[in-house]
Chains A and B, each alone.
Chain A
Amino acid sequence: MIWKTAWKNIWRNKVRSLVVIISITIGIFGGVFAVAVMNGAIEQRVDAALNEEISHIHINDPAFRDNYDMQLLIPDAEKVLSSVEETPGVNAACGRKVISGMANTATKSAGVQIVGIDPEKEKEVLRLNETTMPATGDFFETESRHKLAFIGQELAKELNIIRYRIDQEMLDNLAARGVPVKVLDRLAPFNGKRFKSEKAFKKEMKTVLSMKEQHEYGALIKEEAWSFRTRSKMTLTFLDKDQMQTGAVFRIAGIFDIKNSMFEMSQVLVQNKDLAELTGLAPDAYHQIIVRLDNPDASKEMAASLEKKLPGLEIMSWKEIQPDLAMMIDMISKLYAFFMVIILAALAFGIVNTMLMVVLERTKELGMLTAIGMNKKKVFQMIMLESVFLSLIGGVVGMIFSKIIIGLTSTNGINFSNYAEGLEAMGFTSHIYPVISSSFFITVTVLIIITGILSSIYPALKALKLDPAEALRTE
């Protein structure tokens, strides 16, 4: 009866209750959705980092990372590798040579890290091959008499291997793809022009195209203007094992695009056999072994157990390799907490405020109920239930709403491409798929209930303080 009465009581003032419920819903949704977006971004970032950039565990000489000294090889690398591969929980592992060098084209040069890999084995640990840009080649799959290098999009741009150009062919293609003559006319003055970078190209486009045209045809124009010369070349120079300058011309095997400008800029993958030949290092000499685990969350424990097995080597889990990633995950969970605290505080204020109003409005009625024998416990319970119902409805509706919206957006993702440059510079993709763990979901729901209960206490206590004789006399 108390439950039923409390339930009916909240619908007395429908407008007020709905306003409270809707604000709770919006608050919860806003908070949960924001968290889901951040969480999605981070998860994608971590996934990308683990799957494409670093894998789960690195093994190398303890001093190797100080200045990438070429002499600091892993002793008995093949043996270490097979011992790692046999360890339960290890999915795959492979060895790499890692040396510093310069990449040069006719016009440009850049400092890079040259990584010598066995493409077939590398693919089992990292999936950088899957990020090959269309029409730029492949991950060392096409046989070639030449030495091959697999490089990042940013480096390709920097070295003018990728560029933007407007020529007759490109304009014809655009016409064929339905770009109106009006727009083509604007582009005509640029016929025959090459742009040094994407930025320079975009800047010029902005001067001739309206916002609307940029929005409608920008992507198409960019795609057609983008040009990659197959069989592009670059020279890699570095020191050999005797500290002598060496180098060779490498053809571009393919270009990868991973939304992490830094990594794209610095990593050049070449085949181990080529690097062995040029440096004079043995083919089975490795500076680094990278390891993929069955469960990335167990990386710390696995690193510790490998450390016991392989004394004298530095074994690092991905959290140590990229402390900024680990820190980000840590920081973000604090941010979630902060977000939720704010939302729950708002919820608490809303409930306290509304329920105080309710108690005040119903002074006479509550006085009457005490008079006819409804005891304090029951009065308290009734007011409390009303508060809890309110927060629960708002909370549950908010959570369901969040779940639905997150569900809808998580399949297709949300495109933040307007901010793409900033996000990609930080290693984030601009297309974010919001996700939320069910544990977060459950925690928030429980917290909402607890907050609802806690914030009902004060108004319920107020109701208890009512003196029936006084209450009945009030007008």
Chain B
Amino acid sequence: MKILEIKNVHKIYNSSEVKVHAVNGVSLDFEKGEFAAIVGPSGSGKTTLLNMIGGLDTPSDGEIIVDQTNLAGLKSSALIDFRMRNIGFVFQSYNLIPVLTAKENVEFIMSLQKWNKKERDDRTFELLKAVGLEDRINSRPSKLSGGQQQRVAVARALASKPKFVLADEPTANLDSKSTETLLDIMEQLNKEEGITFIFSTHDARVVKKARRVITLEDGKVISDERKN
């Protein structure tokens, strides 16, 4: 089942004196349950592509269809709502609200969706347990390591049961031990719960874990390999 179709997407930035063709005719399909890495040199368009998939940025041309919804057809407020219900995000940094505890950060999205307290508590605990942080529920981000913070971010991304999780260089700021732990957790969630992950990375060790590796260069897909 296709949950994401990218059809001949372009992104041209006109803002500076030079026109930048950041994404240049990318077409990709993603199935449910994929564990895909987008790799490529710096400036190859990974972030731009992920932002467009996530509805944070609009393509200059082409279409992005998330589970039969064309993102181009959504107005900005509807798009925010769509993101909240369908897409999980993990960023490189600044993922968490520093004044809230791990639990509150994970709950945040659910409270925006007006889940009731009981459901929220249960799910938060379940998610933090899944990322191995059940004993750090009440810690603030400043009391957590970088890796632990990213795990909270993964838990938060899963809170609304999204169609897929987008992660732009989630391990860029982590040491190798934390990187491995985070990847193991993501892999486990993918295998056991069938959660779809699409992440960008520079890190060869991360790439190794991926079951599909898409390589970008100058905004174009130059290879798309699947492993088993």
Contacts and interface: CB of A to CB of B under 8 A. Distances in A.
Nearest to A11: B99
A371 B83 contact: yes
A6 to B, nearest CB: 10
Given A11-B99, A469-B56, A472-B56, A372 B83 contact: yes
A368 B91 CA distance: 8
Contacts of B89: 368, 371-372
Contacts of B186: none
Contact size range, B? 20 to 34
A5 B112 contact: no
A193 interface: no
B80 A370 contact: yes
Contact of A472 (B91, B108, B160): B91
Contact of A374 (B85, B93, B112): B112
B84 interface: yes
Contact size range, A? 20 to 34
Contacts of A369: 97
Contact of B77 (A5, A8, A375, A468): A375
B80 A1 contact: no
Nearest to B47: A473
Interface string B69-88: 00000000100110111001
Given A8-B99, A472-B91, A372 B57 contact: no
Given A372-B156, A472-B56, A472-B91, A5 B97 contact: yes
Contacts of B57: 469
* Residue among A11, A12, A372, A468 with most chain B CB within 10 A: A372
Nearest to A370: B80
State the majority secondary structure of interface residues on A: helix
Interface in A368-398: 368-376, 378
A181 B40 CA distance: 99
A375 B109 CA distance: 11
B77 A12 contact: no
B84 A372 contact: yes
A24 B156 CA distance: 38
A373 B99 contact: no
A1 B81 contact: no
A469 to B, nearest CB: 4
A378 B89 CA distance: 19
Contact of A378 (B100, B112, B157): B112
Given A373-B84, A469-B51, A12 B98 contact: yes
Contacts of B83: 371-373
Contacts, number: 70
Interface string A209-237: 00000000000000000000000000000
A197 interface: no
Contact of A1 (B54, B91, B111): B111
A256 to B, nearest CB: 66
A9 interface: yes
A373 B94 CA distance: 15
Nearest to A8: B99
Nearest to B84: A373
Nearest to A12: B99
B107 interface: yes
A364 B111 contact: no
Contact of A372 (B47, B100, B109): B109
Given A373-B160, A469-B51, A472-B56, A368 B94 contact: yes
A373 B56 contact: no
A375 B56 contact: no
Interface string A6-46: 00110110000000000000000000000000000000000
B213 to A, nearest CB: 24
Interface in B128-163: 156-157, 160
A472 B81 CA distance: 19
A365 interface: yes
Contacts of A2: 111
Interface in B24-73: 47, 51, 54, 56-57
A124 B94 CA distance: 78
Contact of B80 (A5, A365, A376): A376
Nearest to A379: B80
Contacts of A473: 47
13 contacts: A1-B104, A1-B112, A5-B104, A364-B94, A365-B94, A365-B97, A365-B98, A371-B56, A372-B109, A374-B80, A374-B112, A375-B77, A473-B47
Q: Which 10 A-B pairs have the closest CB atoms?
A: A373-B84, A8-B99, A1-B111, A469-B57, A469-B56, A364-B94, A373-B83, A375-B80, A469-B51, A468-B56
